[in-house]
Amino acid sequence: MKILIINGPNLNLLGQRETDIYGHYSFEDYFKHLQKKFLDLKLEYYQTNHEGSIIDKIHQRGFKYDGIVINPGAYTHYSYAIYDALKSVTAPAIEVHISDIEKREEFRKISVIKDACVHQIKGKGLPGYEEAIEYLVKMKE
Catalytic positions, written as ranges: 22, 97
Cβ distance 73 to 16 under 8 Å? no
Question: DSSP of 66-101, one letter per residue?
Answer: SEEEEE-GGGGGT-HHHHHHHHHSSS-EEEEESS-G
Cβ distance 68 to 4 under 8 Å? yes
| 78-100 b/e (C-beta count within 10 Å ≥ 16 → b) | bbeebbebbeebebbbbbbbbbe
Taking the CB of residue 109, how many other CB atoms lie within 10 A of it?
12
The backbone region for 66, taken as left when phi is positive above 0, alpha when psi lies in -120 to 50, beta otherwise, is alpha
> Radius of gyration over alpha carbons of the chain, in Å?
14
